[in-house]
A = this chain, B = another copy of it.
Amino acid sequence: MEQQTQDKSTMVVFSGDLDKAMASFIIATGAAAMGKQVTMFFTFWGLNILRKEEYVNVKKTFMDKMFAKMMPQGPEKLGISKMNYGGLGAKMMKYTMKKKNIVTLKELIEMAQDLDVKMVACTMSMDVMGITKEELIDGLDYAGVASYLADADESKINLFI
């Protein structure tokens, strides 16, 4: 039992900021590389990290369309949590990371999928924000808070990001 808990980690990824998203995937891929079963539970703004970059034609209410327009669509469009200055900060950070050969968020997401990190989109948040499965990247699980809590309960490391 104790052994089992040692080998699991969960994260609630609430934030949709580039810097926090990077932090969460760096921790997640690091833990997965060390042999842990990692679950990332994406809620609220965190769902934006998982949005496909290309436009997906789905029927939506006016309000849902507005939300979708206003929120960043996928890893390339995210801002940073401080000093973003309308996207300039995010650009500077990406520029400097590239120069220093640090992996991009997109590459981190692919690494996470290769390492079998369980990526779960919160269905209640999808409902609130009017985001459909078609608009999110492939390979996700879909579940609610009870599923998150079941995983968290068996995890040694639980974070809210």
The chain A residues found within 8 Å of chain B, CB to CB, are 1-2, 6, 12, 14, 16, 19-20, 23, 26-27, 30-31, 34, 43-45, 63-64, 66-67, 70-71, 81-83, 92-93, 95-97, 99-100, 102, 124, 127-128, 130, 145-146, 148-149, 152-153, 155-161
Contact of A97 among B2, B23, B128 (CB under 8 A): B128
Can you tell how many copies of this chain the complex includes? 3
Let me know if A130 and B96 touch, CB within 8 A.
yes
Closest to A83 in B: B70
* Least CB distance, A15 to chain B, in whole angstroms: 8
* Least CB distance, A76 to chain B, in whole angstroms: 18
Provide the residues of chain B in CB contact with A19, threshold 8 Å: 14, 44-45
Cα distance, A45 to B139, chains bound together (Å) = 32
Let me know if A16 and B146 touch, CB within 8 A.
no
